[in-house]
Structure 1
Protein backbone atom coordinates (compact mmCIF):
# COMPACT_ATOMS: atom_id res chain seq x y z
CA UNK A 1 0.00 0.00 0.00
CA UNK A 2 2.82 2.39 0.94
CA UNK A 3 4.64 1.58 -2.30
CA UNK A 4 1.57 2.51 -4.31
CA UNK A 5 1.30 5.86 -2.55
CA UNK A 6 5.00 6.64 -3.11
CA UNK A 7 4.70 5.55 -6.75
CA UNK A 8 1.72 7.89 -7.22
CA UNK A 9 3.60 10.81 -5.63
CA UNK A 10 6.61 10.20 -7.85
CA UNK A 11 4.43 10.28 -10.98
CA UNK A 12 2.89 13.58 -9.93
CA UNK A 13 6.35 15.08 -9.30
CA UNK A 14 7.54 13.97 -12.74
CA UNK A 15 4.49 15.57 -14.41
CA UNK A 16 4.91 18.83 -12.50
CA UNK A 17 8.62 18.92 -13.27
CA UNK A 18 7.98 18.25 -16.96
CA UNK A 19 5.39 21.03 -17.09
CA UNK A 20 7.78 23.55 -15.50
CA UNK A 21 10.55 22.40 -17.88
CA UNK A 22 8.38 22.92 -20.95
CA UNK A 23 7.22 26.33 -19.72
CA UNK A 24 10.79 27.38 -19.02
CA UNK A 25 11.89 26.27 -22.49
CA UNK A 26 9.03 28.14 -24.14
CA UNK A 27 9.80 31.30 -22.16
CA UNK A 28 13.48 31.06 -23.13
CA UNK A 29 12.60 30.32 -26.79
CA UNK A 30 10.16 33.24 -27.06
CA UNK A 31 12.60 35.56 -25.35
CA UNK A 32 15.30 34.69 -27.88
CA UNK A 33 12.93 35.00 -30.83
CA UNK A 34 12.02 38.52 -29.81
CA UNK A 35 15.65 39.63 -30.07
CA UNK A 36 17.17 41.02 -33.29
CA UNK A 37 19.42 38.84 -35.44
CA UNK A 38 21.42 39.13 -38.62
CA UNK A 39 20.97 36.22 -41.00
CA UNK A 40 20.57 35.37 -44.66
CA UNK A 41 17.22 34.58 -46.24
CA UNK A 42 16.07 33.69 -49.74
CA UNK A 43 13.67 36.11 -51.43
CA UNK A 44 11.48 34.94 -54.33
CA UNK A 45 11.52 37.30 -57.33
CA UNK A 46 8.44 38.12 -59.43
CA UNK A 47 9.07 40.21 -62.55
CA UNK A 48 6.57 42.96 -63.30
CA UNK A 49 6.00 45.85 -65.76
CA UNK A 50 7.74 44.31 -68.77
CA UNK A 51 7.93 46.75 -71.72
CA UNK A 52 5.88 45.73 -74.78
CA UNK A 53 9.07 45.31 -76.79
CA UNK A 54 10.62 42.76 -74.39
CA UNK A 55 9.76 39.30 -73.13
CA UNK A 56 11.08 37.43 -70.09
CA UNK A 57 13.25 34.43 -70.94
CA UNK A 58 13.31 31.06 -69.19
CA UNK A 59 16.74 31.64 -67.60
CA UNK A 60 15.88 34.60 -65.36
CA UNK A 61 16.83 34.26 -61.68
CA UNK A 62 13.82 33.59 -59.47
CA UNK A 63 15.57 33.68 -56.08
CA UNK A 64 18.01 36.15 -54.52
CA UNK A 65 19.79 35.76 -51.18
CA UNK A 66 19.65 38.77 -48.84
CA UNK A 67 21.33 39.50 -45.51
CA UNK A 68 18.67 40.89 -43.18
CA UNK A 69 18.44 42.23 -39.63
CA UNK A 70 15.15 41.50 -37.90
CA UNK A 71 13.59 39.54 -35.05
CA UNK A 72 13.86 35.82 -34.70
CA UNK A 73 10.10 35.63 -35.15
CA UNK A 74 10.45 37.11 -38.66
CA UNK A 75 13.24 34.70 -39.64
CA UNK A 76 11.17 31.81 -38.33
CA UNK A 77 8.23 32.99 -40.43
CA UNK A 78 10.44 33.27 -43.55
CA UNK A 79 11.50 29.66 -43.07
CA UNK A 80 7.91 28.62 -43.70
CA UNK A 81 6.68 31.32 -46.08
CA UNK A 82 9.20 32.77 -48.55
CA UNK A 83 9.05 36.54 -48.99
CA UNK A 84 7.84 37.54 -52.45
CA UNK A 85 9.56 40.53 -54.07
CA UNK A 86 8.24 42.26 -57.22
CA UNK A 87 11.00 43.40 -59.57
CA UNK A 88 10.07 46.36 -61.79
CA UNK A 89 11.66 45.41 -65.12
CA UNK A 90 11.11 48.87 -66.57
CA UNK A 91 14.14 50.04 -64.55
CA UNK A 92 16.63 47.65 -66.18
CA UNK A 93 19.63 48.99 -68.12
CA UNK A 94 21.10 47.48 -71.30
CA UNK A 95 24.84 46.91 -70.83
CA UNK A 96 27.20 44.82 -72.97
CA UNK A 97 24.39 42.78 -74.50
CA UNK A 98 22.63 42.15 -71.15
CA UNK A 99 19.67 43.65 -69.35
CA UNK A 100 20.71 44.40 -65.75
CA UNK A 101 19.23 46.00 -62.65
CA UNK A 102 22.06 47.79 -60.85
CA UNK A 103 22.80 47.50 -57.14
CA UNK A 104 21.20 50.75 -55.99
CA UNK A 105 17.97 50.24 -57.94
CA UNK A 106 17.79 46.60 -56.87
CA UNK A 107 18.25 47.33 -53.17
CA UNK A 108 15.77 50.20 -53.32
CA UNK A 109 13.06 48.00 -54.86
CA UNK A 110 13.60 45.24 -52.28
CA UNK A 111 13.87 47.62 -49.30
CA UNK A 112 10.55 49.29 -50.15
CA UNK A 113 8.78 45.93 -49.99
CA UNK A 114 10.20 44.83 -46.63
CA UNK A 115 8.45 45.56 -43.34
CA UNK A 116 9.63 48.51 -41.26
CA UNK A 117 11.12 46.17 -38.67
CA UNK A 118 13.35 44.51 -41.29
CA UNK A 119 16.65 46.05 -42.40
CA UNK A 120 18.28 45.05 -45.68
CA UNK A 121 22.05 44.81 -45.06
CA UNK A 122 23.43 43.21 -48.19
CA UNK A 123 22.65 41.05 -51.26
CA UNK A 124 24.49 38.10 -52.72
CA UNK A 125 25.22 40.08 -55.90
CA UNK A 126 25.93 43.64 -56.95
CA UNK A 127 23.52 43.54 -59.89
CA UNK A 128 20.69 41.37 -61.18
CA UNK A 129 20.92 40.09 -64.76
CA UNK A 130 17.42 39.68 -66.22
CA UNK A 131 16.95 37.27 -69.14
CA UNK A 132 15.11 39.53 -71.58
CA UNK A 133 14.98 39.51 -75.35
CA UNK A 134 13.56 41.69 -78.09
CA UNK A 135 10.13 40.48 -79.08
CA UNK A 136 8.77 40.03 -82.58
CA UNK A 137 5.06 39.70 -83.23
CA UNK A 138 3.28 37.71 -85.93
CA UNK A 139 -0.36 36.93 -86.74
CA UNK A 140 -0.80 33.31 -87.83
CA UNK A 141 -3.91 31.72 -89.42
CA UNK A 142 -5.56 28.77 -87.68
CA UNK A 143 -6.67 25.66 -89.54
CA UNK A 144 -9.11 23.06 -88.23
CA UNK A 145 -8.02 19.43 -88.08
CA UNK A 146 -11.38 17.81 -88.85
CA UNK A 147 -12.32 14.16 -89.15
CA UNK A 148 -16.04 14.23 -89.98
CA UNK A 149 -18.35 11.37 -90.88
CA UNK A 150 -21.84 12.25 -92.10
CA UNK A 151 -25.12 10.43 -92.32
CA UNK A 152 -26.07 9.40 -95.83
CA UNK A 153 -26.83 12.37 -98.12
CA UNK A 154 -25.47 14.95 -95.65
CA UNK A 155 -22.41 17.14 -96.12
CA UNK A 156 -20.80 20.27 -94.70
CA UNK A 157 -21.64 23.42 -96.60
CA UNK A 158 -18.54 25.50 -97.34
CA UNK A 159 -15.53 25.73 -95.05
CA UNK A 160 -15.63 25.38 -91.25
CA UNK A 161 -15.83 28.62 -89.27
CA UNK A 162 -13.00 29.13 -86.76
CA UNK A 163 -13.45 31.76 -84.04
CA UNK A 164 -11.05 33.45 -83.73
CA UNK A 165 -9.37 32.43 -86.97
CA UNK A 166 -5.91 33.86 -86.16
CA UNK A 167 -3.51 33.70 -83.23
CA UNK A 168 -0.88 36.31 -82.35
CA UNK A 169 2.50 34.90 -81.34
CA UNK A 170 5.22 36.96 -79.66
CA UNK A 171 8.75 35.73 -79.31
CA UNK A 172 12.26 35.82 -80.75
CA UNK A 173 12.15 36.31 -84.51
CA UNK A 174 14.37 33.26 -84.96
CA UNK A 175 11.68 31.11 -83.31
CA UNK A 176 8.54 32.41 -85.00
CA UNK A 177 9.69 33.33 -88.51
CA UNK A 178 8.96 29.84 -89.89
CA UNK A 179 5.42 29.60 -88.48
CA UNK A 180 2.84 29.63 -91.30
CA UNK A 181 -0.19 28.09 -89.60
CA UNK A 182 -1.39 26.66 -86.30
CA UNK A 183 -3.65 23.61 -86.28
CA UNK A 184 -6.31 22.62 -83.79
CA UNK A 185 -6.33 19.29 -82.07
CA UNK A 186 -8.12 16.55 -84.00
CA UNK A 187 -11.90 17.02 -83.98
CA UNK A 188 -13.66 13.72 -84.63
CA UNK A 189 -17.42 13.74 -85.17
CA UNK A 190 -19.56 10.90 -86.49
CA UNK A 191 -23.10 10.42 -87.77
CA UNK A 192 -23.48 14.11 -88.52
CA UNK A 193 -26.83 15.38 -89.81
CA UNK A 194 -27.01 18.82 -88.17
CA UNK A 195 -24.83 21.88 -87.66
CA UNK A 196 -21.97 21.40 -85.20
CA UNK A 197 -19.95 23.64 -82.87
CA UNK A 198 -17.01 22.43 -80.81
CA UNK A 199 -14.25 24.01 -78.74
CA UNK A 200 -10.75 22.76 -79.51
CA UNK A 201 -7.25 23.36 -78.18
CA UNK A 202 -4.50 24.67 -80.43
CA UNK A 203 -1.48 22.47 -81.06
CA UNK A 204 1.72 24.53 -80.85
CA UNK A 205 4.95 23.29 -82.44
CA UNK A 206 7.84 22.25 -80.23
CA UNK A 207 10.92 24.42 -79.82
CA UNK A 208 9.04 27.63 -79.00
CA UNK A 209 10.14 27.85 -75.36
CA UNK A 210 10.49 31.64 -75.40
CA UNK A 211 7.33 32.42 -77.36
CA UNK A 212 3.85 33.17 -76.08
CA UNK A 213 0.50 32.86 -77.88
CA UNK A 214 -2.49 35.15 -77.46
CA UNK A 215 -5.00 32.28 -77.23
CA UNK A 216 -4.93 28.55 -76.58
CA UNK A 217 -8.41 27.45 -77.65
CA UNK A 218 -10.84 28.26 -80.47
CA UNK A 219 -14.38 27.39 -81.48
CA UNK A 220 -14.88 25.38 -84.68
CA UNK A 221 -18.34 25.23 -86.23
CA UNK A 222 -19.86 24.07 -89.49
CA UNK A 223 -23.15 24.12 -91.35
CA UNK A 224 -24.42 20.65 -92.27
CA UNK A 225 -26.94 20.34 -95.10
CA UNK A 226 -28.73 17.57 -96.94
CA UNK A 227 -27.73 17.11 -100.57
CA UNK A 228 -29.05 15.25 -103.57
CA UNK A 229 -27.51 13.95 -106.77
CA UNK A 230 -28.35 14.44 -110.42
CA UNK A 231 -26.77 13.07 -113.58
CA UNK A 232 -26.21 15.28 -116.62
CA UNK A 233 -25.21 14.18 -120.12
CA UNK A 234 -22.47 16.45 -121.46
CA UNK A 235 -21.10 16.45 -125.05
CA UNK A 236 -17.35 15.89 -125.39
CA UNK A 237 -15.33 18.66 -127.04
CA UNK A 238 -11.99 17.64 -128.59
CA UNK A 239 -9.32 20.35 -128.66
CA UNK A 240 -6.02 20.51 -130.57
CA UNK A 241 -6.97 17.97 -133.28
CA UNK A 242 -4.24 17.07 -135.87
CA UNK A 243 -4.21 19.25 -138.98
CA UNK A 244 -6.45 17.89 -141.74
CA UNK A 245 -8.25 15.43 -139.46
CA UNK A 246 -11.36 15.34 -137.37
CA UNK A 247 -11.35 13.49 -134.03
CA UNK A 248 -14.50 11.50 -133.43
CA UNK A 249 -15.05 10.07 -129.95
CA UNK A 250 -17.04 7.00 -128.97
CA UNK A 251 -19.30 7.87 -127.25
CA UNK A 252 -19.62 11.54 -128.16
CA UNK A 253 -21.05 12.43 -124.74
CA UNK A 254 -20.35 11.48 -121.14
CA UNK A 255 -22.46 11.55 -117.98
CA UNK A 256 -21.49 13.80 -115.08
CA UNK A 257 -22.69 13.23 -111.52
CA UNK A 258 -23.34 16.46 -109.61
CA UNK A 259 -23.99 16.70 -105.86
CA UNK A 260 -25.67 19.80 -104.42
CA UNK A 261 -28.60 20.88 -102.30
CA UNK A 262 -32.04 20.21 -103.75
CA UNK A 263 -32.68 23.91 -104.31
CA UNK A 264 -29.31 24.37 -106.02
CA UNK A 265 -29.85 21.41 -108.36
CA UNK A 266 -33.09 22.98 -109.62
CA UNK A 267 -31.07 25.81 -111.15
CA UNK A 268 -28.41 23.64 -112.85
CA UNK A 269 -28.55 22.41 -116.45
CA UNK A 270 -26.22 20.63 -118.87
CA UNK A 271 -25.04 23.97 -120.26
CA UNK A 272 -23.32 24.67 -116.93
CA UNK A 273 -20.77 21.92 -117.69
CA UNK A 274 -18.04 21.47 -120.28
CA UNK A 275 -15.97 18.33 -120.82
CA UNK A 276 -12.87 18.35 -123.03
CA UNK A 277 -10.47 15.80 -124.48
CA UNK A 278 -7.09 17.21 -125.51
CA UNK A 279 -5.61 15.35 -128.50
CA UNK A 280 -2.24 17.00 -127.85
CA UNK A 281 -1.87 14.89 -124.69
CA UNK A 282 -1.01 11.87 -126.86
CA UNK A 283 2.24 13.56 -127.87
CA UNK A 284 2.66 11.33 -130.93
CA UNK A 285 1.85 8.04 -129.21
CA UNK A 286 -0.37 5.35 -130.77
CA UNK A 287 -2.94 5.24 -127.98
CA UNK A 288 -6.59 5.16 -129.02
CA UNK A 289 -8.02 6.74 -125.85
CA UNK A 290 -8.13 10.33 -124.65
CA UNK A 291 -8.26 11.58 -121.06
CA UNK A 292 -11.43 13.52 -120.21
CA UNK A 293 -11.36 16.71 -118.13
CA UNK A 294 -14.17 18.83 -116.70
CA UNK A 295 -13.26 22.39 -117.70
CA UNK A 296 -16.46 24.11 -116.58
CA UNK A 297 -18.80 23.39 -113.70
CA UNK A 298 -21.43 25.33 -111.72
CA UNK A 299 -20.57 27.14 -108.51
CA UNK A 300 -21.77 26.22 -105.02
CA UNK A 301 -21.90 22.48 -105.58
CA UNK A 302 -20.26 19.82 -103.43
CA UNK A 303 -18.96 17.37 -105.96
CA UNK A 304 -18.79 16.94 -109.73
CA UNK A 305 -17.63 13.60 -111.07
CA UNK A 306 -17.21 12.00 -114.48
CA UNK A 307 -18.73 8.58 -115.04
CA UNK A 308 -15.77 7.76 -117.34
CA UNK A 309 -12.29 9.21 -117.24
CA UNK A 310 -11.26 8.22 -120.77
CA UNK A 311 -12.93 7.94 -124.16
CA UNK A 312 -12.09 6.01 -127.37
CA UNK A 313 -11.63 7.91 -130.63
CA UNK A 314 -10.95 7.56 -134.33
CA UNK A 315 -9.42 9.99 -136.82
CA UNK A 316 -11.42 10.99 -139.92
CA UNK A 317 -9.63 12.80 -142.69
CA UNK A 318 -11.37 15.98 -143.74
Structure 2
Protein backbone atom coordinates (compact mmCIF):
# COMPACT_ATOMS: atom_id res chain seq x y z
CA UNK A 1 0.00 0.00 0.00
CA UNK A 2 2.99 2.31 0.34
CA UNK A 3 3.84 2.09 -3.38
CA UNK A 4 2.91 4.88 -5.81
CA UNK A 5 -0.18 4.39 -7.98
CA UNK A 6 -2.19 6.27 -10.55
CA UNK A 7 -5.94 6.02 -10.07
CA UNK A 8 -9.14 8.04 -9.89
CA UNK A 9 -10.91 9.51 -6.90
CA UNK A 10 -14.06 11.54 -6.40
CA UNK A 11 -14.23 14.89 -4.62
CA UNK A 12 -17.35 16.60 -3.23
CA UNK A 13 -17.54 20.24 -4.32
CA UNK A 14 -18.15 23.07 -1.88
CA UNK A 15 -18.92 26.30 -3.75
CA UNK A 16 -17.90 29.54 -2.03
CA UNK A 17 -17.19 33.24 -2.72
CA UNK A 18 -20.22 33.80 -4.93
CA UNK A 19 -20.24 37.28 -6.49
CA UNK A 20 -22.94 39.54 -5.06
CA UNK A 21 -24.72 39.67 -8.41
CA UNK A 22 -25.03 35.87 -8.80
CA UNK A 23 -26.77 33.00 -7.03
CA UNK A 24 -26.02 29.28 -7.20
CA UNK A 25 -28.73 27.22 -8.88
CA UNK A 26 -29.78 23.67 -8.06
CA UNK A 27 -28.20 22.11 -11.17
CA UNK A 28 -24.54 22.65 -10.36
CA UNK A 29 -22.31 19.57 -10.20
CA UNK A 30 -21.73 18.43 -6.63
CA UNK A 31 -18.72 16.24 -7.37
CA UNK A 32 -15.72 15.99 -9.68
CA UNK A 33 -13.56 13.02 -10.66
CA UNK A 34 -9.78 13.45 -10.54
CA UNK A 35 -6.88 11.29 -11.71
CA UNK A 36 -4.22 11.26 -9.02
CA UNK A 37 -0.74 9.87 -8.51
CA UNK A 38 -0.04 9.01 -4.89
CA UNK A 39 0.44 6.15 -2.46
CA UNK A 40 -2.01 3.32 -2.00
CA UNK A 41 -2.78 4.57 1.49
CA UNK A 42 -3.93 7.95 0.12
CA UNK A 43 -6.14 6.26 -2.49
CA UNK A 44 -7.71 4.10 0.19
CA UNK A 45 -8.48 7.25 2.19
CA UNK A 46 -10.17 8.95 -0.77
CA UNK A 47 -12.17 5.80 -1.64
CA UNK A 48 -13.54 5.59 1.88
CA UNK A 49 -13.97 9.24 2.87
CA UNK A 50 -14.48 11.07 -0.47
CA UNK A 51 -12.77 14.38 0.30
CA UNK A 52 -14.34 17.79 -0.03
CA UNK A 53 -12.72 20.63 -1.98
CA UNK A 54 -13.64 24.32 -2.01
CA UNK A 55 -14.43 25.85 -5.40
CA UNK A 56 -13.94 29.62 -5.59
CA UNK A 57 -16.85 30.71 -7.78
CA UNK A 58 -15.57 34.28 -8.05
CA UNK A 59 -13.16 33.02 -10.75
CA UNK A 60 -15.88 31.87 -13.17
CA UNK A 61 -16.00 33.14 -16.73
CA UNK A 62 -19.05 33.50 -18.95
CA UNK A 63 -18.74 31.40 -22.12
CA UNK A 64 -21.38 30.48 -24.69
CA UNK A 65 -24.25 31.48 -22.44
CA UNK A 66 -23.07 29.75 -19.27
CA UNK A 67 -20.67 30.21 -16.39
CA UNK A 68 -17.64 27.91 -16.30
CA UNK A 69 -14.37 27.28 -14.49
CA UNK A 70 -11.74 26.14 -16.98
CA UNK A 71 -9.26 23.34 -16.38
CA UNK A 72 -6.31 25.52 -15.38
CA UNK A 73 -8.36 27.33 -12.74
CA UNK A 74 -9.76 24.06 -11.39
CA UNK A 75 -6.36 22.38 -11.19
CA UNK A 76 -4.83 25.40 -9.47
CA UNK A 77 -7.63 25.55 -6.89
CA UNK A 78 -7.51 21.83 -6.17
CA UNK A 79 -3.70 21.63 -6.07
CA UNK A 80 -3.69 24.21 -3.29
CA UNK A 81 -5.89 21.92 -1.17
CA UNK A 82 -4.25 18.52 -1.83
CA UNK A 83 -1.38 17.08 0.20
CA UNK A 84 2.12 17.72 -1.10
CA UNK A 85 2.65 14.03 -1.87
CA UNK A 86 -0.34 13.94 -4.26
CA UNK A 87 -0.05 14.82 -7.95
CA UNK A 88 -3.19 15.90 -9.81
CA UNK A 89 -3.01 14.51 -13.37
CA UNK A 90 -6.45 15.01 -14.90
CA UNK A 91 -10.03 16.09 -14.16
CA UNK A 92 -13.40 14.90 -15.39
CA UNK A 93 -15.02 17.12 -16.34
CA UNK A 94 -12.01 19.27 -17.16
CA UNK A 95 -14.27 22.31 -17.61
CA UNK A 96 -16.76 22.73 -14.78
CA UNK A 97 -20.10 24.33 -15.61
CA UNK A 98 -21.57 26.20 -12.65
CA UNK A 99 -25.32 26.81 -12.51
CA UNK A 100 -25.42 30.53 -11.72
CA UNK A 101 -28.02 33.15 -12.46
CA UNK A 102 -28.02 36.92 -12.14
CA UNK A 103 -29.90 38.45 -9.27
CA UNK A 104 -31.03 41.81 -8.00
CA UNK A 105 -30.96 42.76 -4.33
CA UNK A 106 -33.29 44.89 -2.23
CA UNK A 107 -33.43 45.98 1.39
CA UNK A 108 -36.86 45.13 2.81
CA UNK A 109 -38.10 46.59 6.13
CA UNK A 110 -38.98 44.17 8.92
CA UNK A 111 -42.31 44.68 10.67
CA UNK A 112 -42.99 43.38 14.18
CA UNK A 113 -46.13 41.27 14.56
CA UNK A 114 -46.50 42.22 18.21
CA UNK A 115 -49.49 42.05 20.54
CA UNK A 116 -48.37 43.98 23.62
CA UNK A 117 -50.57 44.25 26.69
CA UNK A 118 -49.19 46.49 29.42
CA UNK A 119 -50.02 46.46 33.10
CA UNK A 120 -52.14 49.33 34.38
CA UNK A 121 -50.24 52.63 34.69
CA UNK A 122 -47.43 51.47 32.39
CA UNK A 123 -46.69 52.79 28.90
CA UNK A 124 -44.46 51.96 25.98
CA UNK A 125 -41.70 54.56 26.35
CA UNK A 126 -40.88 55.32 22.72
CA UNK A 127 -41.48 52.92 19.85
CA UNK A 128 -41.11 49.20 19.36
CA UNK A 129 -37.63 48.52 17.96
CA UNK A 130 -36.43 45.71 15.69
CA UNK A 131 -32.84 44.60 15.20
CA UNK A 132 -31.99 44.27 12.43
CA UNK A 133 -34.69 46.59 11.09
CA UNK A 134 -34.40 45.25 7.53
CA UNK A 135 -33.38 42.20 5.55
CA UNK A 136 -31.50 42.06 2.25
CA UNK A 137 -33.11 39.75 -0.27
CA UNK A 138 -31.32 38.53 -3.39
CA UNK A 139 -33.12 36.88 -6.25
CA UNK A 140 -34.65 37.34 -9.68
CA UNK A 141 -36.09 40.81 -10.12
CA UNK A 142 -39.52 39.37 -10.94
CA UNK A 143 -39.60 37.65 -7.54
CA UNK A 144 -38.18 40.21 -5.18
CA UNK A 145 -40.01 43.21 -6.65
CA UNK A 146 -43.25 41.83 -5.16
CA UNK A 147 -41.99 42.02 -1.56
CA UNK A 148 -43.00 45.12 0.39
CA UNK A 149 -42.37 44.09 4.00
CA UNK A 150 -41.16 41.06 5.95
CA UNK A 151 -43.12 40.31 9.13
CA UNK A 152 -41.90 38.55 12.23
CA UNK A 153 -43.67 35.53 13.64
CA UNK A 154 -46.36 36.54 16.17
CA UNK A 155 -45.17 37.82 19.54
CA UNK A 156 -47.69 37.82 22.41
CA UNK A 157 -46.67 39.69 25.58
CA UNK A 158 -49.13 40.15 28.45
CA UNK A 159 -49.04 42.04 31.77
CA UNK A 160 -45.80 43.76 30.82
CA UNK A 161 -44.32 46.16 33.38
CA UNK A 162 -40.64 46.21 32.35
CA UNK A 163 -38.46 46.48 29.29
CA UNK A 164 -38.92 43.52 26.93
CA UNK A 165 -36.89 41.71 24.28
CA UNK A 166 -37.91 38.72 22.16
CA UNK A 167 -35.89 36.81 19.57
CA UNK A 168 -38.25 35.72 16.79
CA UNK A 169 -38.11 34.11 13.37
CA UNK A 170 -39.06 35.97 10.19
CA UNK A 171 -41.98 34.89 7.99
CA UNK A 172 -41.00 34.86 4.33
CA UNK A 173 -43.56 34.90 1.51
CA UNK A 174 -44.14 31.69 -0.41
CA UNK A 175 -43.09 31.27 -4.01
CA UNK A 176 -39.57 32.69 -3.60
CA UNK A 177 -37.72 29.50 -4.50
CA UNK A 178 -34.86 31.34 -6.21
CA UNK A 179 -34.35 34.04 -3.59
CA UNK A 180 -32.23 34.13 -0.45
CA UNK A 181 -32.44 36.36 2.62
CA UNK A 182 -29.55 37.79 4.63
CA UNK A 183 -31.11 36.95 8.02
CA UNK A 184 -33.79 34.61 9.28
CA UNK A 185 -34.39 36.02 12.76
CA UNK A 186 -34.74 39.39 14.45
CA UNK A 187 -35.03 40.82 17.95
CA UNK A 188 -38.14 42.81 18.91
CA UNK A 189 -37.57 45.03 21.94
CA UNK A 190 -38.91 48.10 23.69
CA UNK A 191 -38.70 50.23 26.80
CA UNK A 192 -41.58 50.25 29.29
CA UNK A 193 -42.05 52.91 31.95
CA UNK A 194 -44.54 53.65 34.68
CA UNK A 195 -46.60 56.77 34.00
CA UNK A 196 -48.44 59.26 36.12
CA UNK A 197 -50.79 62.19 35.56
CA UNK A 198 -50.46 65.90 36.27
CA UNK A 199 -52.81 68.82 35.75
CA UNK A 200 -51.54 72.10 34.30
CA UNK A 201 -53.36 75.45 34.32
CA UNK A 202 -52.89 77.13 30.94
CA UNK A 203 -54.04 80.57 29.70
CA UNK A 204 -56.39 80.71 26.71
CA UNK A 205 -55.01 82.61 23.68
CA UNK A 206 -57.60 84.08 21.27
CA UNK A 207 -56.75 84.48 17.59
CA UNK A 208 -58.33 86.27 14.63
CA UNK A 209 -60.02 88.94 16.73
CA UNK A 210 -61.72 91.64 14.60
CA UNK A 211 -59.78 94.88 14.40
CA UNK A 212 -60.83 97.40 17.06
CA UNK A 213 -62.21 94.72 19.39
CA UNK A 214 -61.03 92.53 22.20
CA UNK A 215 -62.27 89.14 23.37
CA UNK A 216 -62.51 88.04 26.96
CA UNK A 217 -63.00 84.36 27.68
CA UNK A 218 -64.68 82.85 30.72
CA UNK A 219 -62.71 81.26 32.17
CA UNK A 220 -59.47 82.72 30.85
CA UNK A 221 -57.47 79.63 31.87
CA UNK A 222 -58.21 75.94 31.37
CA UNK A 223 -56.76 72.76 32.79
CA UNK A 224 -54.85 70.20 30.78
CA UNK A 225 -54.40 66.64 31.97
CA UNK A 226 -50.99 65.30 30.90
CA UNK A 227 -49.85 61.68 31.12
CA UNK A 228 -46.15 60.87 31.00
CA UNK A 229 -43.45 59.09 32.91
CA UNK A 230 -42.85 60.37 36.40
CA UNK A 231 -39.39 61.60 35.41
CA UNK A 232 -40.76 63.45 32.38
CA UNK A 233 -43.57 65.15 34.34
CA UNK A 234 -40.96 66.72 36.62
CA UNK A 235 -39.50 68.50 33.58
CA UNK A 236 -42.78 69.91 32.22
CA UNK A 237 -44.37 73.26 33.08
CA UNK A 238 -47.50 75.11 31.98
CA UNK A 239 -45.42 77.21 29.58
CA UNK A 240 -44.83 74.10 27.46
CA UNK A 241 -48.50 74.16 26.39
CA UNK A 242 -50.49 76.56 24.24
CA UNK A 243 -54.29 76.54 24.10
CA UNK A 244 -55.97 78.57 21.36
CA UNK A 245 -59.53 79.75 20.78
CA UNK A 246 -60.05 80.85 17.18
CA UNK A 247 -62.64 83.64 16.92
CA UNK A 248 -62.69 83.15 13.15
CA UNK A 249 -64.36 79.76 13.64
CA UNK A 250 -67.65 81.57 14.36
CA UNK A 251 -67.86 82.74 10.76
CA UNK A 252 -70.68 85.22 11.51
CA UNK A 253 -72.66 82.95 13.83
CA UNK A 254 -74.08 84.30 17.11
CA UNK A 255 -72.64 81.54 19.29
CA UNK A 256 -71.35 82.58 22.71
CA UNK A 257 -68.82 79.74 22.88
CA UNK A 258 -65.42 79.22 21.33
CA UNK A 259 -63.87 75.77 20.77
CA UNK A 260 -60.43 75.19 22.25
CA UNK A 261 -57.44 73.50 20.67
CA UNK A 262 -54.07 72.51 22.06
CA UNK A 263 -51.61 73.88 19.50
CA UNK A 264 -48.40 73.24 21.42
CA UNK A 265 -47.49 70.46 23.83
CA UNK A 266 -44.22 68.94 25.08
CA UNK A 267 -42.63 65.96 23.42
CA UNK A 268 -42.25 62.50 24.95
CA UNK A 269 -45.63 62.48 26.69
CA UNK A 270 -48.20 59.72 26.56
CA UNK A 271 -51.36 61.83 26.30
CA UNK A 272 -52.62 65.40 26.72
CA UNK A 273 -56.28 66.22 27.17
CA UNK A 274 -58.31 69.37 27.73
CA UNK A 275 -60.73 69.04 30.63
CA UNK A 276 -63.00 71.59 28.90
CA UNK A 277 -63.42 71.79 25.13
CA UNK A 278 -65.17 75.20 25.00
CA UNK A 279 -65.18 78.56 26.77
CA UNK A 280 -67.72 81.37 26.89
CA UNK A 281 -66.65 84.77 25.66
CA UNK A 282 -67.67 88.38 25.24
CA UNK A 283 -66.63 90.66 22.41
CA UNK A 284 -65.83 94.22 23.56
CA UNK A 285 -65.04 97.27 21.47
CA UNK A 286 -61.80 98.95 22.41
Task: Give the TM-score normalised by the residue count of structure 2.
Answer: 0.66
Contact map agreement 1:111 1:120 (CA 8 A) in 2: no
Equivalence for 1:28: none
For the structure 1 residues 165 and 120, does the alpha-carbon distance in structure 2 shift closer, same or farther, using more than 3 Å as the test?
closer
Equivalence for 2:180: 211
The answer to whether 1:132 aligns with 2:104 is no
Contact map agreement 1:147 1:188 (CA 8 A) in 2: yes
SS of structure 1 residue aligned to 2:158: strand
SS of structure 1 residue aligned to 2:202: strand
- Measured in 2, the distance between the counterparts of 1:266 and 1:258 equals 12
The answer to whether 1:55 aligns with 2:55 is no
Equivalence for 1:234: 202
- Greater radius of gyration (CA): 1
Q: CA offsets, 1:17-42, max 9 Å, x none?
A: xxxxxxxxxxxxxxxxxxxxxxxxx9
Correspondent of 1:171 among 138, 158, 163: 138
Equivalence for 1:33: none
- In the TM superposition, residue 250 of structure 1 has moved relative to its aligned partner by 5.1
- Measured in 1, the distance between the counterparts of 2:113 and 2:213 equals 52
Q: CA offsets, 1:50-89, max 9 Å, x none?
A: 24x34324454356798x9xxxxx9xxx9xx999775442
Greater mean alpha carbon deviation, residues 198-207 or residues 175-184: 175-184
- Measured in 1, the distance between the counterparts of 2:209 and 2:65 equals 71
SS of structure 1 residue aligned to 2:127: strand
Count of aligned positions:
270
For the structure 1 residues 306 and 179, does the alpha-carbon distance in structure 2 shift closer, same or farther, using more than 3 Å as the test?
farther
SS of structure 1 residue aligned to 2:199: strand
- Measured in 1, the distance between the counterparts of 2:75 and 2:220 equals 91
Equivalence for 1:305: 273
- Measured in 1, the distance between the counterparts of 2:157 and 2:188 equals 12
Equivalence for 1:224: 192
Contact map agreement 1:259 1:304 (CA 8 A) in 2: yes
SS of structure 2 residue aligned to 1:271: helix
- Measured in 1, the distance between the counterparts of 2:117 and 2:204 equals 35
The answer to whether 1:190 aligns with 2:158 is yes
- In the TM superposition, residue 134 of structure 1 has moved relative to its aligned partner by 5.4
- Measured in 1, the distance between the counterparts of 2:265 and 2:124 equals 19
Instruction: Show structure 1 runs of 5+ residues with no match.
Output: 1-41, 69-73
- Measured in 1, the distance between the counterparts of 2:201 and 2:144 equals 52
- In the TM superposition, residue 301 of structure 1 has moved relative to its aligned partner by 2.6
- Measured in 1, the distance between the counterparts of 2:204 and 2:109 equals 42
The answer to whether 1:293 aligns with 2:261 is yes
State how 1:240-259 maps to structure 2 within 5 Å: 240-249=208-217, 251-259=219-227
- In the TM superposition, residue 93 of structure 1 has moved relative to its aligned partner by 0.7
Equivalence for 2:6: none
- Measured in 1, the distance between the counterparts of 2:232 and 2:16 equals 59
Contact map agreement 1:137 1:169 (CA 8 A) in 2: yes
- In the TM superposition, residue 126 of structure 1 has moved relative to its aligned partner by 6.9
SS of structure 2 residue aligned to 1:90: helix
After superposition, the CA RMSD in angstroms is 4.8
Contact map agreement 1:169 1:176 (CA 8 A) in 2: no
- In the TM superposition, residue 205 of structure 1 has moved relative to its aligned partner by 5.0
Equivalence for 1:25: none
